[in-house]
Structure 1
Amino acid sequence: MLVRFTPNVLLSTAIALSVVLAAVMLGLAMDQRWLGLKLEAEPRLAIPVSFDGLWIDAIEQDSPAAEQPGAGIPASVASLVEVAGSDGRRVRLEPGDLVEEPDALETYADMRAFFARQDEIAAVLRSIGGVELGVAFLGQTQTYSVSPGRQRPVSSLPVAFWMQIGVGLAGFWIGAWIWALRRGEWATRFLLVAGAGLMISAFPAAVYSTRELALPGGLFRVLSTFNHIGALTFGVGMIGLFLVYPRRLVSPRWLAVPTVVLGAWQIVDIRQLAGGPGLGFHLAVVLAMLTIVILVAIQFKVTRGHPRDRAALAWLGLAVIVGAGGFVVTVIAPNALGIGAVVSQGEAFLFFLLVYVVVALGVARYRLFQLDEWAFRILFYVVGVLLLLALDAILIVTIVDERAPAFALSLLIVALAWLPLRDMLARLVLRRAEPARGNLFRQVMDVALTPPGRDQQARWRALLEDAFRPLSIAPGKAEAPALIDDGLALAVPGPRGLPDYRLDYAGGGRKLFSLRDAELAAELTAMLANALESREAYEKGVAEERERIARDIHDNIGVQLMGALHSPGLARKDMMIRETLTDLRDIINNASNPDLSFDEMLADLRSQISEHLFAAGVKMKWTVENAGSAILPLTAAHTVRSVVREAVQNALKHGQPETISVTVRLEGDIIKLSVTDDGAGFDPGSVQAGNGLANMQARVTSLGGRFNVASGAVGTRIEAEFAIDVARIAQ
């Protein structure tokens, strides 16, 4: 059934359940008779003093103890030695009544006596009609009548309470977050188990370790039991995690062993079958911690030769050893040895927060559990929804009575505060150091404009180094940008003849490559491919333009100068040279007369050809069919003139004909040309074609036409036909 739910739904459900459980813990913490006294087992004074009972460190303002009649209970100089109920029950108080963690007692019998005493004190405080407080001051005991508050205010709960609740929530949320994204993997399941164990352990401890004086004995016993269950559950989760992550050490059937062993130990603790909590609970926790350390060491050995797994282990293993180990060293181990906790249990729970904060950062930097930056989008989304609901509830309770305005105001606050904060957190957590796109674009253009060769390859390599800052870069083979070994390396193909590269260890070896890096590599290669293609197209255009100019000079200018050379009259020579200069300008500009009248162009061409043939003493037959007043595109006009001129020039130069016939026919959108002479022919198969024939053929075929040469003893015939743009013909 879980497979059907999205990660958002699963994470939201887990958060909702944990918040409900936290609310229950808050209710239990507040459901105490409240005096308003801040009591200490040992006074925090520079000079030690002897006293009986519990030291009164301070009295909270607006509390029942502060409002009692008379001179008032003295603070910081007196002690609370006794509480008495209206029914006559009296309990003498001892420093042991404020023990923060009952499993620090030596035996289970001591724990049972402690719970019984707590129950007795709580019963006195719940007496109808108020209680009497026996306060010792300067050797004298004075009685004060106080009516305890029926409920402890939220504001009186110490910071330690909220710290433990916060640590429990953070551990469970992060575990649920990673599990929701990879719930089919054993590693994330064990991480969720550890997070749930931390919450189950921290929540009850938050209630009983921050009590004012006493809790009902039965409730205290249940909370302490769940604290033990949560601690061992955390151990099961962490042991199971390092059995399978980052490398699997055992087969799946052995994964149940930690649960069986620690579960049996938990039964011994609950049934109080051991000599005391030191053996029944503390020893189990210490051994679980040692097991975790041993598994981390084994994982360190088996990940040799696997840098990605070694990096994940170093990050996660160190966090667990420092975090969980710090709690064991400062709280569990000292209690097991009977010397007492080094620091407050509420403060020591912050060690566990370190574990889960490091896990979240590890997802961002080392892609722990094969997660990437996209995982944070889900986390930020769910947190935003949670903030919206929390603000809505707070506003309804405190300021705004109606639901709709409260929700609208909550939505506005979240939009103005959370969204910018989310982006800031993303930058801090994910360390997004995007390379300057303008600089990358300039480098791409530098690579594209550098002539092919070593310099271009060197610039391509420098571009990749600046964009990704890999620890090493080496030639590779890639079809497309892709992550290798789950981000250990990045394969980048070289566009259009540039070498492929393999980039290892992003950010100078400080992180793994992500999907964002692969997307950037794809963007750079596509950009460079387009730039190289544009450069090649430009160079091809330049080459074609040079070739066109060379053909035009050979076909047109050469023919006209040859005609001028053979012209007998100076006036005619001058005229033909002037026309040649005009044609030369047209060839260079290629822009004059973009659209030419077909019949006018043919008339000019006939005049030029007839002069050439007249000067050479050759007869001409000129035939034009269906030309009319059609408008001829510039390329077609150049092709007609070049083919006719070159064909006539070749006949004069090589054939020594008596007559040359020129036929031009327009059939629909097809132009057909034919130049025939009666001179000495040649064998097209045995004679190497010169620039003239090659240029004519190139011009015609570039327009998609056909070109043919037929020659023999009776002369030579050159034929060409090609299509023109029908839409540009105007009758």
Structure 2
Amino acid sequence: MNAPYNTISSALNKSLIIATVAFILVVLYIAQLLMGSPWIGLQLQTTPENRGLIVKAVKHPELSGHIKAGERIDAIKSGKLPYMLLDNRALVDDPDNYPVLQEYNAAMQYNAALYARLTAAPEITVKTSTGREISFKPLVSRSLFSLSPNFWISNFTALVGLLFAAAIWAYRRQDLTTRLLFACGLFFAIASTVSAIYGSRGLAMNPDWYAFLIAINHLAMPMVAYSLLALVLIYPHRLVPFPVVVICLLIPVVLWLNTLAQWTDLPFHTFYLGMMLAFLGGIPPSIQQWRLSKHKPLERAALMWMLLSIYIASGCEIFLYLVPTIFGHAPALPLWAAQLIFLPLYIGFIMGVFRYRLFDVERWWLLSWHWVLSGLLIIGIDLLLVSVLHLQALGALSVAMILVAWLYFPLRQWLWRHLGQTPEAHLENHIHDFIKIFLGAKQQDDFKQHWLTLLQQVFSASSVEIAGGVIASPKIGEQGMNLLIPGINGDYHIDLYGKHHSSRLFSKQDITLAATLNELATHTKTLQQAKEQGANLERNRIMRDLHDDVGANLVSMIYRAHDKAETELARETLTLLRETIYTLDDKAVTRLSLAIAKWRQETQQRCLAADVCLEWEVGQIPSLHELDARQLVNLGRVLRETLTNALKHAQPKHFSARFWEQAGKLHILLAHDGNVTSPQKWIEGKGIPGMRTRIHELHGEIDWALTDRLETRLSVPLHRKTGDENHA
């Protein structure tokens, strides 16, 4: 059963081992070449006026007493080659920063001229800004530790990118998505490595090697950009056919051939225009992918992570490195720093697409976009002010920050309020409903149903179910689709599915909220049970006192009565007392069919005594419906009061009663043919309001109508059933 897993694991391990060993060998070979190249033994830095180079540190033993840190070297010569003026072109990170081919070629020729002076003769001569001429022999080799930190940082990012590319490819070799990710990681590693080589060249490097490495970079970086664009076009929904993906990957090849053959200059920037177009071209398909994933939370979570990784990484690369270059300014970051920023987001992008463990992704995504957009706006406005209005850098930065603070932040808040921010669940928003449920539930089943309704409302869950099994604390299941909550005083747990109607995943904040709600509910339920226990004890005491004392006295009155009227009054009073005692027992239930039979017996006796014909009809009523004590007594007293009013005021010949169940309610129709006036003309005493109050206590309805007879219509909910019917 573990064979597929072992196969994948073995392939993954082999891929990582091969990639690591191969990369280390390549880096060691490159380091050996760099250490064997001629080196003047000086660490140099550019000058603001682009004239000469400043000595940052002296590493050559012969120069330690002749050149000091901080001096400026203006020119260099060797052999028969004359002095050549030094400027910032000697230390440029990447000649791609020049926007047109002519400037790029000039930079390449400048490197060739410098390299010629380093290798034309055993000894070279440099001229300082003070006019001093210093001759010395360049070092034929350099130590491994003399390589700049930039070299190791760039190669580290290349290694990690390569390892992730190999791991993804080994995991799903036949999947187009993983192949694009592999291409992205592989070309990212290639670009980082070659830039590390010529970025650590010292003053100059072999022109052929220099041109070769830069040509590789011209292909690798656009391939990274267009691999990401192709990924957006097919993941998670394939928006375009496969030939479009192929065309997308051929665009970098065409751009590379243009720079290699130098056919023509492209608008804005010959080397960076293609990557800008890839970034902008990915926005429409990203929006379409977002729309198609609207009701698929797992898919949307992966998509959000992917878009977060792509656009923050690409955005930082473009706005901090490419855009300043296009506007004629130095990049805001050195090349190695741009690569280092890109790498962690690339790793996060890979993990997010294939693991989906992204329960905090939405909040991070939104907050990250706010932060990134704010920073990019400041940088963009700053560059615009410097380029268009020619403000000083510090003044432009201040104006940019003010504009963003006064315009962008208020606009963002307005959009955030009006364009559909989904509110997070908070306890304070539902505390009223919480109290209402716990104080209003009379029975355990009522409480459980209300509790489920509240949880579904708090989290806007698509569904809520009761599942068997006890869990100790809330937890997330099915990669964020389910939230499992312990039951309250029961051997069950609650399963919430689909947060915000299946448009989002449950998060750690939801676990915390569910735990708080559950703990509060448990304590409240315990207090409620203690209160009910005390009330039950007091109720039982009152029931005993009424039964033992008042009941005993009424029985004595029955036997001591002097005439039939007193005896009947005492019997009726004893019956009412028993009903009152019965209503105090909130656990007492009576089957509806038995209650109707009891009412019929009493009604028939009274009708026979008054010489009234009784018609009794029972319609479709499930035999297992039950009435609680309050329902039984209130309905019985309304029936008794209706018959009493008819016999006392109307002298009817016929009295009818009809019972049926419909839509979960018990309907009763009482009618007689006595002499009565319209109900609108009645002057109500205590009987009619009393009946109305009793029915309203049961959440029912009652009214009267006069047709060819007087009808009393009432209905009450039937919300109690026996256990047998529940399981039927």
TM-score norm. by structure 2 comes to: 0.50
TM-score norm. by structure 1 comes to: 0.49
